[in-house]
Amino acid sequence: MIDFSRHADIQAPTGPQRHCRGWGQEAALRMLMNNLDPRVGENPDALIVYGGRGRAARSWAAYDQIVQSLLSLENDETLLVQSGKPVAVLKTQPAAPRVLIANANLVGKWATLEEFNRLDQLGLTMFGQMTAGSWIYIGSQGVIQGTYETLAALAAQQFGGSLKGRLYVTAGLGGMGGAQPLAAKMLDGVALVAEVDQRRIQRRLDSAYLDVAVESIAQAVARALSARNAGETLTIGVHCHANALLEYLIAQNVTPDVVSDQTAAHDPLVGYIPDGYTVDEAAQLRQAHPEAYLQRARNSIAEHVRHLLTLQGRGAQAFDYGNNIRREAFDQGVTDAFAIPGYVPAYIRDLFSQGKGPFRWAVLSGNPEEIYRLDELALSLFGDNPLLARWLRLARRYVAFQGLPARVAYMGPGERDTFALRVNEWVANGSLAAPVVFGRDHHDTGSVASPYRETENMRDGSDAIADWPILNALLNVASGAHWVSFHHGGGTGIGYSLHAGMVTVADGSEDSAGRLSRVLFNDAAIGVVRHADAGYDLAKSTLASHRDRIATPLIGPDRA
């Protein structure tokens, strides 16, 4: 028996027994619960999954009602979730999504962190980050390949394709940042990561994303330099603020080969701990004096970026990994903050132009062996794709599962749908014990408008055009995704991004086959269209290779 009323130690049910009236509802229920599994979420007791305060539901009362709604939802009904609160079940049709979600969306003039915080305090909205509020978070693995591909591209540009004998210094070991040391390890480098929360360091040690933890900055730096000089691979967590580590490096005239950051600077009220405060002290200050907290955090962020610029000036390869730290610093007077490049235009825009992004799947059987079998299936289908083949072999070697066994892999249109249709056949013939959930991060090729991350420095200047994620969400509804979401603020924070998500389930049925074919092709294809329209030749050539499934009446700016 499954106790769906539990609020502690939540674990998704596994196996072929369905508790809901359809697999679309069942998959949504299990993935919601998986987000709040203590092996997966950052602070599930507070409904926080990752990213500072990215939540799965607005309150425990809302969570209970979502669960009960999913358990009773008919196959021709749709549940509406408004910023983490279920507000209606309406009769739609069998081909419609079973759940539609909107999180933290504010009218443009009101889309500020201050207004969001006011509404959040009133219990009227919720920050869903990206995959927290859309119920498709899969732990740190969800971002690990993106981090790996970013560092791999940097290494190819600067260091001959490897980080061997190189030192990567960064900060943040939370749900996003925790992927950084493992990505560096996969490229044979040395990673030194500052983290103010001892619990996060321990969590990364337990999952083998970190090799060692050191309390002393001096000892941590000495060990990192020794490993770099010896050409060893080592990942080190050091319990300190980011600025304390960077100040030490600057004072000791130590210049890392690469510097970045993955603290939750996109949310300075909750995500970033000001210099001089422990986690507990910061929580007390935040509760008692939120405005003072914000200013202290922003001052620390400004100093943080100044230190990164200093190290960049000394020869380190610096990049912003999408947490809006540059803009926060710029607003505090660091006028050259944007001398640090963003990682998307610097390293992975070519992937986005091909429609390749963080596609992911989770096996509802709960059996890790099924993930390994699906790895082999992907290799048999796309073994001639060197990026994909290299990643799948590395993931099998290094990546530990959290909660429901899952995998992420950068695939594009034609690959995602082909793979999922074969998986659906395996579910139908009993080769897999239970259905498989297919989704993706909102950080994807055509699902987001984020001028300081995914859409930074677009060739045609369309960085802030948000029509594309809206079209993406509408297209996924029309194509038959099992649930679709549209959020504000994920990644770079309130006021700086709009983004859409989708999830589709392979349950072995003809209905699922149709949904998978349409959704997983169209969802990636609109990203190629978006980049082709912006003038990227690689996207145009990718479109040409799919002209049998995509018609593009007018690509490029309409100057008529």
In this model, does residue 560 exceed pLDDT 90? Answer: no
Average pLDDT, the chain: 96
Question: What number is the average pLDDT over the span 354-365?
Answer: 97
Domain 141-341 grouped into CATH 3.40.50.920: no
- Nearest to 364, CA basis, from 425, 430, 434: 434
**Helices 510-533 & 467-479, crossing angle to 10 degrees?**
160
What residue ranges of the chain are covered by domains with CATH 3.40.1770.10? 43-138+349-548
Nearest-5° Cα angle at 23, 85 to 355: 80
Within 207-289, residue ranges assigned H as helices are 217-230, 242-251, 279-288
Query: Residue 294 has what pLDDT?
Result: 96
Query: Residue 233 has what pLDDT?
Result: 97
Question: What number is the average pLDDT over the span 305-328?
Answer: 97
What residue ranges of the chain are covered by domains with CATH 3.40.50.10730? 141-341
Confidence bin at 156 (pLDDT 50/70/90): very high
Residue pLDDT, tens place only, 229-250: 999 999 999 999 999 999 999 9
The model carries a pTM of 0.93
- Residue 271 to residues 133, 199, 260, 343, 544: CA-CA distances in angstroms? 17, 15, 17, 21, 43
Confidence bin at 176 (pLDDT 50/70/90): confident
Confidence bin at 140 (pLDDT 50/70/90): confident
Percent of the chain with pLDDT over 70: 100
Query: Residue 559 has what pLDDT?
Result: 60
Question: What number is the average pLDDT over the span 350-371?
Answer: 97
Report the C-alpha dihedral over residues 450, 531, 153, 379, rounded to 10 degrees. Answer: 110
- Nearest to 8, CA basis, from 51, 52, 41: 41
Query: Residue 346 has what pLDDT?
Result: 96
Question: What number is the average pLDDT over the span 132-151?
Answer: 93
Confidence bin at 550 (pLDDT 50/70/90): very high
Give dist(CA 252, CA 234) in Å, integer: 21
Enter the CATH code of domain 43-138+349-548. Answer: 3.40.1770.10
Query: Residue 52 has what pLDDT?
Result: 87
In this model, does residue 317 exceed pLDDT 80? Answer: yes
Residue pLDDT, tens place only, 258-294: 999 999 999 999 989 999 999 999 999 999 999 999 9
Query: Residue 141 has what pLDDT?
Result: 85
Give dist(CA 356, CA 348) in Å, integer: 10
Query: Residue 557 has what pLDDT?
Result: 81
